A and B are shown apart, each in its own frame.
Chain A
Amino acid sequence: DQQVKQNSPSLSVQEGRISILNCDYTNSMFDYFLWYKKYPAEGPTFLISISSIKDKNEDGRFTVFLNKSAKHLSLHIVPSQPGDSAVYFCAARSGGGADGLTFGKGTHLIIQP
């Protein structure tokens, strides 16, 4: 049973527009959430995170929103740039911290010029 779900395998967005990537989770023990970005043949790179005590965290063009009651988080990228084309993974962790990260299957974001 997948505890972190990214239901959109791919997303195409025009350059300059907003990209919104979605993620749902089922495990109520998760209290820390992260987004990683991955280019082909490279390891994932940390992008942004949010603790469950917050509902929003912003870093430059990237904002993560968390809706705990809906067990849903989203990553907004605005404005989208060609270099943002990559696979984005949503990940979650529980308070113990010792179980590693639980990842979704990823969303392939394609920014069109």
Chain B
Amino acid sequence: GAGVSQSPSNKVTEKGKDVELRCDPISGHTALYWYRQSLGQGLEFLIYFQGNSAPDKSGLPSDRFSAERTGGSVSTLTIQRTQQEDSAVYLCASSFLLAVQETQYFGPGTRLLVL
């Protein structure tokens, strides 16, 4: 079956512009997660969704970041007024349930470069 897909795969933007990243989770997965991997770093957890709800947004790096999920499926991560430090690979993952032992399946990521 289809795995987690993300688009675009690569995005180059100018500082100050807004960008929107999209994630299509595995069909039937109720939990969805966004992570970021900056150069030379591990994956940094940003936000999770249980259904359409994101109860805790404290992991988002700044108020320029927002995320939404509609219909319990597709999610978008929006970065407003991008800065050079936002350059990173943004990874989305999904799991069947929101539970400790549920395996998270990752998409290939969106490589964002802010010039």
Give chain A's interface residues, CB within 8 Å of chain B.
4, 6, 31-32, 34, 36, 41-46, 49, 51, 89, 91, 93-106
Contact = CB atoms under 8 A, between A and B. Distances in A.
Contact of A101 (B45, B107, B108): B45
Contacts of A6: 42
B53 to A, nearest CB: 11
Contact of B45 (A32, A97, A100): A100
B105 A41 contact: no
Interface centre among A43, A46, A91, A94 (most CB of B within 10 A): A43
B42 A49 contact: no
Contact of A51 (B41, B47, B101, B103): B101
B59 interface: yes
26 contacts: A4-B42, A32-B101, A43-B106, A43-B107, A43-B108, A43-B109, A44-B106, A46-B103, A49-B103, A89-B43, A91-B43, A94-B100, A95-B100, A97-B100, A98-B48, A98-B56, A98-B98, A99-B48, A100-B35, A100-B46, A101-B33, A101-B45, A102-B45, A103-B35, A105-B42, A106-B42
Interface of B: 4, 33, 35, 40-48, 50, 55-56, 59, 91, 93, 98-109
A101 B100 contact: no
B108 A41 contact: yes
B61 to A, nearest CB: 14
Contacts of B40: 105
A86 to B, nearest CB: 14
A105 B40 CA distance: 7
Contacts of B98: 97-98
A94 B4 CA distance: 24
A46 B100 contact: no
List of 4 A-B pairs having minimum Cβ-Cβ separation, nearest first: A100-B45, A43-B106, A103-B42, A97-B100
